[in-house]
Each structure stands twice: as structure tokens, then as C-alpha cells.
Structure 1
Amino acid sequence: MGSKPSTPKAKQNAKASTVDAKKSKEKHAKDDDNQLKTSSNSPKDVMISYSHQDKEMMAKLRESLEDNDITVWVDVVGLQAGVDFLGKIGQAILNAKLFISLLSTSTVKSKYCQDEIALAYISQKPIFPFAINTQQEIYDCMGTGMKLQLSGIEWTFALKPETFENDFAELLSRLKAELEAQKSDEKSDVSEKRMLTRHTSKSKKKKDPRTQELSEEFWKKHFDKEEVVEWERFKKDFSKYFHAEMEYLFTEDKEKGFLWANLKEEVELLNDENSVDMLPKKNLIDFTVRYGDTLSLWESVEEFGKEMFAMQEVFGMDSSVRVQAIEHLGQFQSPRVIESLRDLLYNEDPNVRAVASVSLAKTGNSEKLTIKRLMKALNDKDRLVREAGCLALGHIKAKEAIPALLRLWRNDFISHVREAAQAALELIGGDEVEQAMHITKVLADEIRLLTLEN
């Protein structure tokens, strides 16, 4: 049976439909092109990190999220000349409420995706892995840093097109639960501890009892009643006891070496008469108390590794992202993080020096070396660094800095620095500060009166 000839009206409708489709396509293309330009001004619910080899799945995921009233930021333009990749995308990560990693064998090989996950981790973004390859396929390609940052997180898998709707529904449920929790937090006084512990969605996988042992249990099992053991002996016994966990996470010996070198400094070893590095039992126990909670020995090492590898990634990033990432390091109280922040006070970028000062104060660390480094900031040629140094010293109530702060309050030629010095002195308080400030104000009033009389 032949088809009916098209009527003028049918042709007109078909033409209108084609025009509408073209306009819709052009609108989406325009939105995509403008997205990088506007990302910093329009925070979204979710930021999607993905490899551009998986752009079809990304588009499907993005559409499904938006259909469910979840606002999305995603880099649809890709790496093009003139695009400030890490600056724009880094800002989008910092602005977004949640972070989705579209995980595939391509994602984990991408340096950009590695940087994005590290920044999300440092910035305490809830991370939601959405995997389109099996976990084993992905882990075979994944580096240690990414393994650590994604460990303990519950993954959602979308391995087959026909199950995508169900897989997505599982992810959506988790996303909405987290968004609701954040709304609730905004309306109430949420402790810093809660914000730290709700960093990620935790895995439901049953844990090995060994990984739940406290440091005292491990110590008694291996070293009995000794109070101090050789560092190399501890390393050997730890590596043997947690052999499966170490081999699963660390793909190269140099990565294990990086962990051990940092951990060695973290636990503050002693030296015996033969200059042999010795680990005190007390130092190991203290190491496992993190952010007010006592973790198991393995969990403590794993969390420490996450911090170290994430910091390594962040410090190698583009400076525009690094400055903002450093700002978030203040939430980590690890001695290695504190030492890294101290070192950043000598960075050539004044923005890095200023933010490192503030972050160092946020750690609450008031050791002599911290105060000494912050006091150097008071002589910095950059006024923002001097201002940040003042506020940092005031925050940690560094009495040793009172004379230097008084000097700045009286003499600095920048009013903002003088105001910061005054605020710091008021935070520190005490008789010495009150007396010195009173004398200065009395003298200033007398000088003003003399000036008026003349």
C-alpha cells in the first residue's frame, strides 16, 4: 500500500519540528560552551569528573541527574587551547556540593582525573564513584593515590546498558540523601567532627578483623611488653601482618617508600646509643588518635596515606587551584600536613604564603617552630601575607609574638595590616597587651592634642 502524499500542513509541521530540534541542539551547545566561563559564579549540586573517552556515558548520566532536578557542572568542552583547565574545573569542584567520579579504565589513567579526585578529597567533598567497568578492571589500572582516596567508599556500578535505570536509581538515592543531610546541617550547628566524618559514603563490605585491631592489640601480639622497638622491626612485622592490604593498595615499591618515609617522620622516632631508629609504643598509640577518635592501626595508616598522596597531587597542581586547596588543609591535624604548611610559608607565591598562614592557624598547632615561621610572615614585603600572619598568630594566641604585633600595630603603613595586628593582640589578650595598647593610645592622644595646639 502506497504512502499518502504529504499535505502542505504536514510539510509545515515537519519543518517546524526540524527547526525546533535544531534550536534545541544549538541551545545545548551554547550552554555547554558557556559552562566553563560561568562555573565559578554558579555553584551546582554535583560536579562530574570523567574521561572524555566516556563522554557518551557522561551525557547520559548528566541528563538523568538534571531530569531529577539535580544541578550539574561538567566539563563538556574538553582540553582546548586557552582553557584554564585546572582553574575552572578546580573552582567547580570547590563550589559543588557533591563530587561524582565516572570511573573507568580511562579515568584512572588520566592525570587530570587523578588531580580532580585528590582536590575533592582535600576539600572534603562527599565522593560518589559511578563505575562503568568492573572494580577489578579499574583497580588493575589505578595508582595508589586514587586507590587510597576511594578506599572505604561505596561504589555504584553501571556495567550494562539494560540495567542503567536501576543502577542510576541507586546512585540518585545516595545523592539525594547527602543533599538532604547538607540542608539539615545548614540549619543546625554541625560540629567540625561531623563534617570530617561525613566525607564520603562508606562501603558496606565486611571488614577483616585484623584491620580493626587497635595499636595496643597489634603491639601486644608482636612485641609483648616492650615499650620501644626498632623501626625496621616494626616495618617488617607490619608489612607481613598487613601484606594483603599493602599489596592491594600499593602498585609500586616507590609508593610504599613514600608512605614509610612520611610515616617515619609522623611518629617521631627516638635514637638509641647506636643511632638506631626506635619506635616508642606511646608514639604509635598517639598516632592512631585522629581528629578526636581512636582508629584501628590499619585505618590510621590508611587515612594518613590518603592525606599524604592527596597532598602530593594537590601541591603539583596549577597554582590557582592549589591556593584554594591549601586553604582546606587546615582541617588536617597531622604533623606532616603541619610541616608542609610551614614549608609553604616560604613559597614564592604570596597568595600561597598568605593562605598557608591561615590554614596553619586552623590546625590549632602552636609549637615554637610554627610560631617562629608565622612571625617571619610579619616582615613579609606583601601586605596580605603580613595581615594573614597577624591573624594566624592571634588565632593560636602566640604570646611570643606580642612585641612584633605591637610594632606592626604602631608602625605599618597599611591600615589593614594595623587593624589585623590589633585584632590579633585583642585575641591574645593579657596584662602585657592591655598595658602596651593603653600606653600607645594615651601617647597617640597626647601627640594629637599637641598637633592641634600648634
Structure 2
Amino acid sequence: MAHSFDVVIGYHGSDVKFVEKVAAKLEKAGLSVWYKRNQDAEKQTSEAILGCKIYLPVMSEESAVDKSIQEQLSLAYISNSAIYPLAQTRFRYLSPKLSGGAKLMLAKINWCFVFNMEEFESKLDSLIDCMNRDLQNMRPGMGSNTLSEAAFSHGLSLPHTNNSVAEDANTIDSKPSDVDSNTKFWDRHFQGQQQISWDEFRDKFLHDYGKKIDEELPDVKEDKLKFIINLIYKDIFNMERTITKKMYDDFSASEDPHAFFARIQEYFVAYLSLREVLGMDSSLRIPTIQNLGQFSFPAIVSGLSDMLKDDDPNIRAVAAIALAHAGKDRDDTVDHLVGIIEDEDRLVRESACLSLGYLRSVRAVSYVVDRWRNDPISTVREAAELALSKMDAVEAQRCMKVTQVLSSEMSALKPKAS
């Protein structure tokens, strides 16, 4: 990314005059600000959002239904930028226009409302105070959170505590009405147990939260309950048939009785956001996918894994490289990459070899060796050879030794210049 900004502003064209005033106010306070001018391409917007610390969407009745704002909001959410919605219209007028995913995404974030220009200065001063506080508290390396850290806390130290900023804010309660609200999910059902079967966990989770999921979470093309259960099993618990209390606690990362479900809500929104981003115009997909490699959130790793099956070989190739970076700490990343090492497209095969070389995967050596020896395309063989040179394994080193011997013999057989 060419430059990282403190704040990127997203807006509908009808709000440009207001945005110019906001940008000037933020810059006067010492914040670096970017917003799209007429000559800027959407690709520049995508890169700016992925590199920013704070995304500030100016929400109006026009921007609430603007697809480009939805895409930007989704991109900011999955890349863990802090999100500060700024509106000149009351939330009750905007809420019906927001998509289900956007509404849930913004539900627990306090908004700044400027209902008239007489209060512009005071409201923006409060907003800037919140931004500066969050920027000062920002932890190094926050972009690579793990499950046991705040892997799904998209933003810095939100929610804001200043009441003047929180005016007319929207909230959604994660607590089901028909279960004990004072006891954590694990203790409600598995008191004193350190591990239980996945089937037990799934059934109790659906008992407590199935109705709430069905009624309140945004719809997806698939069966929603099955979709969310699959996300929990595949992405959160890594398809383990035995769920331990430590796995549960690491994911919940809170003592709140409904912390696990709240985390699932956030993960579900992150997953929907990723879908939104990858549904963008094809000219934006490749650079966006490439940039996603710097983020290790499970939703992103899962999305990149799914993209290895995309119909477009360019997407598959770029996703392979991004996945090697984003999913470098996950065991199944190697399995996904090995799965495309014999792809029909030579660029995808090259990307798979190079990605496995980057990961230095010992168990992938035999697959890379096969490409080095048998692939009909020379550039794939070269990529495999380069990957083997990076792998610290006996089989890889033996193959490289063979390469050196063959090269030496070929050089010896070449006619000497007279």
C-alpha cells in the first residue's frame, strides 16, 4: 500500500460539501485524511481503506442505499479499521434503508450526529477526541489478531463513551429472551466439564440461540441455521469433534453470559462483508484479494480458501498467494494449496508451488517435487524448483542436489567455444 491514512471518508456524491468541511476539520486537528475526489478510481478507494486506521462513512438516506458505500463499509470491517459513522439524519430514518448486514455491522458502534451546522464544531471536536484516544491506544500489530486476542473486535477501543457522540445510537441485544441471562453458555449446559462432544455443543447452541438467529440475523442464500453452524464447526473449532472449555473461552474472550453468541454475530457479519467485497466489480477483486493477505482473521482465511475454487483462474492464483500469508498459522492452509497444485491453469499451479515454498511446508514437498519433475510448462517447473530451495526438508534438499548434479552434467556436455 502506497500510503496509510489515519482516516478515510466514504460518502455519496450529494454529501460532498459536508465531506469537505469534515475533512478540513480533521486535517486541522492533525489527522491525515483521504476521500475520493472526482479523478480518483475505485481501486484507489479500496487501497486507501485497506491501509487506513479509521473509516468514517458519512451516512445519509442516499449513502444508506449506495452499493459502493456498502462495499467500502464491508472492506473496512473485514480489515479491522475502526468505523465511525457520521450522519446528518436521525438513525430511525436511515435504519429502514440499510441492508441487514450493514445494520448488524453498525449496531454496536456509536454514531456521531450533526443535525445542524450550528453544532458542527462541537460535535466534530467530540468525534476527534474519540479518534485521537483510539489512535493513541492502538496496539502494534493489531491487524493480525488471533482468536485469543480480539480477533473479531473490528475497530480500536469502541464503543465510544462520550454521550454527545452516542446520540441516537442503535443497539442490538445479543441476549435471547428465554434463557438464563446471568450464566455463561458453557456453565448453563456443561457446568464442571472441561470438554464435550461437538454434537452436544451444537444442539445446546441451537436450543438457546436458534430462534434468535432465525429472526434477527440477515438472510443468506443458504439455510441460515445450517450455514452458521457450519461456520462455527469449520472456522471456529477447526472441525474438531471434541470441544474443550479452553477453545470456548479463547473464542468468547469475555465474561459476558452471551459473549460466545455475540462473537458469532460479529463473525457472521465479517463473513457477509467478505462476500460483499468479493462481489465487487472484477476490476477491484484482484487488488483487494491481494491486499487481504495481510489480515489473518478467520473469516478472511476462510474466504480466500473458498476463492481457490473460483471460476476465474486469475482469482485462484492471487487467492493462493494471499492465503499463504493470511493463513500461514493454520494447518489446513497447506491442504488447500496442495489441492490446486495440479490445477488446469499454469498460473494457478505456479502460485500453489510458490505459496507452499513460502510456507516451507515439509508435508508438501512430494507434491512440489512432482510438479518440478512432471509439469509440462517450464515456468511451473521453475516455480517448483524455487519452492524446493526454500524448504528445509531432507527430501527437498535431496531433490535440489539432483538438480545441481544434472545442471553440472549438462554444462559439461555443452560444446566448448573454440
Secondary structure of the residue aligned to 1:282 is strand
Match 2:208 to one of 237, 242, 247:
237
The residue number in structure 2 matching 1:341 is 304
CA distance in 1, matches of 2:7, 2:33: 5
Q: What TM-score comes out, normalization by structure 1 length?
A: 0.69
Specify the alignment match of 1:61 in structure 2. 22
State the partner residue of 1:202. Answer: 158
Cα distance change, pair 293–420 in 1 and its aligned pair in 2 (3 A): farther
Q: Relative contact order (alpha carbons < 8 A, sep ≥ 6): 1 or 2 greater?
A: 2
Match of 1:101 in 2: 57
Whose helix proportion is higher, 1 or 2?
A: 1
Structure 2 counterparts to residues 131-280 of structure 1, below 5 A: 131-180=87-136, 185=140, 192-193=144-145, 199-204=155-160, 210=175, 214-220=184-190, 227=197, 228-229=199-200, 234-240=205-211, 243=212, 250=217, 254-255=219-220, 259-268=224-233
* Conserved? CA contact 1:374–1:393, under 8 Å: no
Alpha carbons of structure 1 residues 419 and 307: separation in structure 2 relative to 1, 3 Å: same
Could you say if the C-alpha distance between residues 200 and 108 of structure 1 is closer, same or farther in structure 2, counting changes exceeding 3 Å? farther
Q: 1:213 to 1:418 in 2, by over 3 A?
A: farther
Aligned equivalents of 1:103 and 1:124: distance in 2? 19
- Aligned match of 1:87: 43
CA distance in 1, matches of 2:267, 2:228: 8
Amino acid at match of 2:33: V
Deviation at 1:405, TM superposition (A): 2.3
Q: Select between 401-410 and 56-65 the one with higher mean Cα deviation.
A: 401-410
Distance 1:381 1:416, change over 3 A: closer
Compared CA separation, residues 348 and 148, structure 1 to 2 (3 A): same
State the SS of the aligned residue for 1:115.
helix
Give, as a single letter, the amino acid of the residue that structure 1 aligns with 2:13: H
CA apart distance, 1:113? 1.0
Alignment match, 2:271: 308
> Does the 8 A contact of 1:212 with 1:297 survive in 2?
no
How far 1:435 sits from its partner (Å)? 1.6
> Could you tell me how far apart the structure 2 residues matched to 1:319 and 1:298 are?
34
CA distance in 2, matches of 1:90, 1:319: 13
| Cα distance in structure 1, aligned partners of 2:400 and 2:267 | 44
Alpha-carbon distance, 1:95 to partner: 4.2
- 1:140–1:258 distance in 2 versus 1, CA, 3 Å: farther
SS of the residue corresponding to residue 9 of structure 2 reads strand
Paired residue secondary structure (2:84): strand
**Cα offsets for 1:1-38 (capped at 9, x unmatched):** xxxxxxxxxxxxxxxxxxxxxxxxxxxxxxxxxxxxxx
How far off its partner does 1:329 sit?
Answer: 4.5
Q: CA offsets, 1:298-326, max 9 Å, x none?
A: 22211221222102211210123222332
| Code of the aligned partner of 2:304 | L
Code of the aligned partner of 1:351: N
The offset of 1:170, in angstroms, is 1.4
Question: How far apart in 1 are the matches of 2:154 and 2:399?
Answer: 45
Q: Structure 1 residues 337, 261: CA separation in 2 closer, same or farther (over 3 Å shift)?
A: farther
In structure 2, do the counterparts of structure 1 residues 157 and 219 end up closer, same or farther at CA, with 3 Å as the change threshold? farther
Match of 1:110 in 2: 66
Query: Could you tell me which residue of structure 1 aligns to residue 282 of structure 2?
Result: 319
Unaligned runs of 5+ in 1: 1-39, 78-82, 270-278
Q: Which moves more between the two structures, 227-236 or 64-73?
A: 227-236
| Distance in 2 between residues matched to 1:161 and 1:246, nearest whole Å | 42
Distance 2:409 2:222 in 1: 65
Alpha-carbon distance between aligned partners in 2 of 1:410 and 1:167, rounded to the nearest angstrom: 66
Which of the pair has more CA radius of gyration?
A: 1
- Over residues 217-266 of structure 1, what are the superposed CA-to-partner deviations in whole Å (9 max), with x where a residue is unaligned? 34348x9x9854495774343145xx4x986x53x6x3596642321222
CA RMSD in angstroms, aligned pairs only = 4.1
CA shift for structure 1 position 101 = 1.0
Q: Partner of 2:388 in structure 1?
A: 425
Answer with 50-59 or 296-305: which moved more: 50-59
User: Taking structure 1 as reference, are residues 392 and 218 closer, same or farther at Cα in structure 2, changes over 3 Å only?
Assistant: farther
* 1:352 and 2:323 correspond: no
Aligned twin of 1:32: none
Distance 1:306 1:233 in 2: 22
What secondary structure, in the 3-state scheme, does the structure 2 residue paired with 1:376 have? Answer: coil
Alignment check: 8 A CA contact 2:174 2:262 kept: no
Q: Which residue of 2 aligns with 1:372?
A: 338
Deviation at 1:453, TM superposition (A): 5.7
**Corresponding position of 2:405:** 442
| Pair 1:213–1:349, CA change in 2 (3 A) | farther
Given the two structures, how large is their TM-score scaled by the length of structure 2?
0.75
Letter in 1 for 2:327: T
